[in-house]
C-alpha cells in the first residue's frame, strides 16, 4: 500500500483541519441539543436492550429446546420489513417528506396522503405475510416437528410487527422533518420497558429455564402470550406513542386516499438501488439464520446434559461484539461524516483523504481495545447473558471470541463506505454489497456442511473473515475513486494499537485467572452476578493499562478519538 502526502501532516493537525465551509459556520445550539437528546435516547435504549436480552436468556435459556425457536420467529418481521419496505421508506419517503415540510401547509396534505398510502400498503403486506406464517417459518428455518409447530405459532404472533415497524418509521421521519428528533429515538425505550415487564412476568409465572426447563411439549398458550405477545405489544406501543408528538405538531393530519401526484416516481432510481442493497444484505442475514437452525434441529437428538451452540448464541455473540462499533465508533463516524459530505460539496479531495485517514485511525483506538476486551473477557461476558447456565455461558463465550477478531474491521469497513455515501454514490456500495453477500452466502452454506456442534462457531468465524475481506474490497474500490489516502500510516497506527490491546488483554486475563475465570467451578462462572462483578473489576483495569500503553507507544490518535466526543459534549 502506498503512502500519500498526508503522512507528513501531524496527527493533531490532520484531525482538526476545517473545510472551507466549516471555517465560515458552525453547528447551532439547537442541533447540539437535538444530538444530545438523540444520543441519550440511543444509550438508554441500548442499555435496556442488554437487560432485555439477559432476562430473555434467564427465561428460555441460550441452548435449550425453545431457546432458538422464539428468536428465529421474532427476527423475521425485522428482516422482512427491511428487505421489502426499508429501502422504500429511506430512499423515497424521507426526501419527499422533507420537501413537503417546506410548503405553505407544512406538508399536511401531502403527508396525510403519504401516511394513508403507506399504512394501506403495510397493512395488506402484513396480513398476507402473517397468513403465510407456516410457509415462512418452514422456509426460513431448519427445524421440524414440534419445534417447527411452535416456531410457526411464534411467527403468527410476531409477523404483525411488520406493520408497526413501518408506522414507527414513517411517523418518526415526519417528526424529524419538522425538527422533533427526540421522540423517534426515545420510543424504543418504551418498547424495551414493555418487553422487559412481560419477560419478568414470564419468569415469575412460568419459571426460568435453569429451574423449569421449557420444551415444545410443555409449552402453553400462556407461555406464548407472555413471551411473543409481550414482545409484539412493545413494538405496537413503540409506534403508537409517536402519535402524541405527531399530534402536537398541529398539522391536522387525517386519512386521505387520493394518491395521484404523490411523487413517488421522482426518486425511483435511487429507491430501486437501495431496495436491492437492503434485499441483498438482509437476505444474507436470513440465510445465516437458516443455517444456524440446522444446529437447533440437531439438539432434539442430544442427551439432556449435552449442549451445542445455536441461533440464540449467535445472536447474543453478535449483540456483544457490535457494542464497540454501535456505541463508540458510530458516534465518531457520524461527526466525521459531516466533514466528508462538506468536503465533497466543495470538491475538496484533500480534506476527504485527511478525514478518512484520521477517522480510521481514531476509530481504531476504540475498536481495537473493544476487540481486546472481548477476547480477554469473553467468559464473563458469555456468562452475563447465559441465564445462569454455565454451559450456555461457555457457548456464548466461544462465539464472542470468534467474532471479536473481526470487530475492528466491521467499523473500518463502515467508515470506508461513508465516503461513497458522502459523495451521494449509492451504486458503489451496492456493488460492494453484492460481492460481499456472494462471499458471505458461500461461507454460510459451507458452515452448514460441518457437524451440528461446529455449524454456529463456523458461522461466527465466517463473520470475522467476511469483515476482514470487506475492508480489502472497500479499500480497492475507494483507491480507484479518490487515490491513495495514507493506508500505510493507518496500518502502522493499528499495529501499535494492537500491541497496546494485547498488553491490556494480558492484564485483564491475569485478573480473570485470579477470579476463577479459567476453571469450570471458578467464581467467574458461578452466576450472572459474579460475572458482572468480574467485568466490573477487569474492565476498568484494562482501560487503564491500554491508556498507559498508548502513551508509551506515542499513539497520538487517542486525542483525535476524544476530540469529536469532547466537542459534542461541550456544545451540549
Residue 117 forms part of a structural domain: yes
Residue 365 forms part of a structural domain: yes
Least confident segment among 156-160, 248-252, 294-298, 428-432: 248-252
- Residue (of 304, 179, 177, 408) closest to 169 by Cα position: 177
Q: What are the angstrom distances between the C-alpha of 122 and each of 74, 84, 175?
A: 18, 10, 20
Check if the beta carbon of residue 354 is closer than 8 Å to that of residue 17.
Answer: yes
Tell me how many domains the chain contains: 2
Same domain as 255, residue 349? no
Same domain as 323, residue 236? no
Same domain as 312, residue 209? no
What's the whole-number mean pLDDT along residues 54-67?
92
Residue 215 forms part of a structural domain: yes
Residue 441 has pLDDT above 90, yes or no: yes
CA distance 314 to 456: 7
Q: How many distinct helices (H) and strands (E) make up the chain?
A: 27, 0
Residue 173 has pLDDT above 60, yes or no: yes
The last residue of one of the domains, among 254, 274, 294, is 274
The last residue of one of the domains, among 250, 274, 298, is 274
Check if the beta carbon of residue 337 is closer than 8 Å to that of residue 416.
Answer: no
Same domain as 434, residue 323? yes
pLDDT of residue 220: 95
Q: What is the mean pLDDT of the chain?
A: 84
Same domain as 471, residue 331? yes
Residue 210 forms part of a structural domain: yes
pLDDT of residue 37: 61
The last residue of one of the domains, among 217, 252, 274, is 274
What range does the domain containing 447 cover?
A: 307-572
460-475 as b/e: b if 16+ CB within 10 A: bbbbbbbbbbbbebbb
What's the whole-number mean pLDDT along residues 54-79?
93
pLDDT of residue 420: 85
Residue 280 forms part of a structural domain: no
Same domain as 325, residue 241? no
Least confident segment among 37-41, 176-180, 315-319, 457-461: 37-41
pLDDT of residue 8: 29
pLDDT of residue 520: 86
CA 454-293-160 angle, 5° bins:
150
pLDDT of residue 284: 85
The residue written with cell numbers 421508506 in the block is 89
Same domain as 331, residue 225? no
What's the whole-number mean pLDDT along residues 88-111?
67
pLDDT one-digit tens code per residue, 501-515: 999 999 999 999 999
Residue 130 forms part of a structural domain: yes
Same domain as 59, residue 184? yes
pLDDT one-digit tens code per residue, 335-358: 677 778 778 778 888 888 888 888
pLDDT one-digit tens code per residue, 545-566: 999 999 999 888 877 666 655 5
- Residue (of 48, 247, 249, 74) closest to 154 by Cα position: 74
Residue 120 pLDDT class (50, 70, 90 cuts): confident
What's the whole-number mean pLDDT along residues 260-274?
58
Same domain as 111, residue 237? yes
CA distance 482 to 354: 11
Same domain as 316, residue 197? no
Same domain as 71, residue 148? yes
- Residue (of 422, 415, 428) closest to 341 by Cα position: 422
Least confident segment among 136-145, 206-215, 263-272, 520-529: 263-272
pLDDT of residue 487: 87
Residue 266 forms part of a structural domain: yes
Cβ neighbour number for residue 129 with a 10 Å cutoff: 21
pLDDT one-digit tens code per residue, 391-411: 999 999 999 999 999 999 999
Check if the beta carbon of residue 400 is closer than 8 Å to that of residue 382.
Answer: yes
What's the whole-number mean pLDDT along residues 37-50?
76
Same domain as 196, residue 344? no
Residue 86 has pLDDT above 70, yes or no: no
Q: What is the share, in percent, of the chain residues with pLDDT greater than 70?
A: 82
Residue 162 forms part of a structural domain: yes
Amino acid at each position: 500500500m502506498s503512502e500519500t502526502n498526508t503522512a507528513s501532516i501531524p496527527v493533531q493537525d490532520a484531525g482538526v483541519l476545517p473545510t472551507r465551509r466549516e471555517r465560515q459556520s458552525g453547528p447551532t445550539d439547537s442541533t447540539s441539543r437535538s444530538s444530545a437528546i438523540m444520543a441519550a435516547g440511543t444509550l438508554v435504549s441500548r442499555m435496556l436492550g442488554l437487560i432485555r436480552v439477559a432476562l430473555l436468556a434467564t427465561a428460555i435459556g441460550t441452548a435449550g429446546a425453545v431457546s432458538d425457536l422464539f428468536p428465529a420467529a421474532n427476527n423475521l418481521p425485522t428482516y422482512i420489513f427491511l428487505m421489502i419496505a426499508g429501502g422504500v421508506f429511506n430512499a423515497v419517503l424521507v426526501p419527499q417528506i422533507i420537501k413537503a415540510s417546506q410548503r405553505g401547509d407544512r406538508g399536511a396534505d401531502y403527508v396525510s396522503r403519504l401516511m394513508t398510502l403507506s399504512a394501506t400498503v403495510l397493512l395488506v403486506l402484513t396480513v398476507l405475510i402473517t397468513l403465510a406464517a407456516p410457509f415462512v417459518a418452514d422456509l426460513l428455518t431448519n427445524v421440524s416437528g414440534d419445534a417447527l409447530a411452535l416456531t410457526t405459532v411464534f411467527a403468527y404472533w410476531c409477523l404483525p410487527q411488520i406493520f408497526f415497524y413501518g408506522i414507527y418509521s414513517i411517523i418518526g421521519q415526519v417528526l424529524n422533518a419538522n425538527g422533533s428528533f427526540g421522540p423517534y429515538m426515545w420510543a424504543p425505550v418504551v418498547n424495551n420497558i414493555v418487553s422487559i415487564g412481560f419477560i419478568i412476568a414470564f419468569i415469575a409465572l412460568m419459571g426460568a429455564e435453569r429451574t423449569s426447563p421449557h420444551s415444545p411439549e410443555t409449552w402453553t398458550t400462556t407461555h406464548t402470550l407472555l413471551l411473543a405477545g409481550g414482545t409484539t405489544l412493545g413494538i405496537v406501543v413503540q409506534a403508537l406513542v409517536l402519535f402524541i408528538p405527531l399530534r402536537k405538531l398541529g398539522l391536522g393530519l387525517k386519512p386521505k386516499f387520493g394518491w395521484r401526484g404523490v411523487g413517488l416516481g421522482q426518486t425511483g432510481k435511487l429507491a430501486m438501488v437501495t431496495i436491492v442493497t437492503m434485499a441483498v444484505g438482509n437476505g444474507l442475514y436470513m440465510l445465516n439464520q437458516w443455517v444456524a437452525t440446522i444446529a437447533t434441529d440437531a439438539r432434539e437428538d442430544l442427551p439432556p446434559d449435552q449442549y451445542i451452540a445455536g441461533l440464540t448464541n449467535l445472536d447474543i455473540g453478535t449483540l456483544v461484539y457490535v457494542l464497540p462499533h454501535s456505541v463508540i465508533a458510530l458516534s465518531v463516524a457520524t461527526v466525521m461524516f459531516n466533514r466528508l459530505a462538506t468536503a465533497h460539496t466543495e470538491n475538496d479531495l484533500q480534506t476527504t483523504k485527511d478525514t478518512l485517514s484520521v477517522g480510521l485511525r481514531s476509530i481504531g483506538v476504540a475498536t481495537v481495545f473493544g476487540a481486546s476486551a472481548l477476547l480477554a473477557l469473553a467468559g464473563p461476558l458469555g456468562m452475563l447473558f447465559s441465564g445462569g447456565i454455565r454451559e450456555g455461558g461457555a457457548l456464548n463465550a466461544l462465539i464472542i471470541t470468534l467474532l471479536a477478531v473481526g470487530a475492528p474491521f466491521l467499523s473500518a469497513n463502515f467508515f470506508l463506505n461513508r465516503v461513497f455515501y458522502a459523495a451521494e454514490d449509492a451504486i458503489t456500495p451496492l456493488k460492494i454489497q453484492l460481492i460481499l453477500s456472494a462471499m458471505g452466502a458461500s461461507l454460510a452454506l459451507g458452515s452448514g456442511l460441518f457437524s451440528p456442534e461446529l455449524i454456529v462457531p463456523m458461522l461466527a468465524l465466517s463473520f470475522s473473515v467476511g469483515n476482514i475481506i470487506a475492508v480489502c474490497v472497500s479499500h480497492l474500490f475507494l483507491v480507484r475513486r479518490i487515490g491513495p489516502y495514507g493506508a500505510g500510516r493507518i496500518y502502522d497506527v493499528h499495529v501499535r494499537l494492537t500491541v497496546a490491546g494485547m498488553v491490556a488483554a494480558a492484564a485483564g486475563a491475569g485478573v480473570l485467572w485470579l477470579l476463577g475465570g479459567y476453571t469450570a467451578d471458578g467464581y467467574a462462572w458461578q452466576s450472572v452476578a459474579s460475572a458482572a462483578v468480574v467485568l466490573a473489576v477487569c474492565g476498568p483495569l484494562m482501560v487503564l493499562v491500554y491508556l498507559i500503553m498508548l502513551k508509551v507507544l506515542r499513539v497520538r490518535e487517542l486525542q483525535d478519538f476524544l476530540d469529536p466526543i469532547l466537542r459534542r459534549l461541550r456544545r451540549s
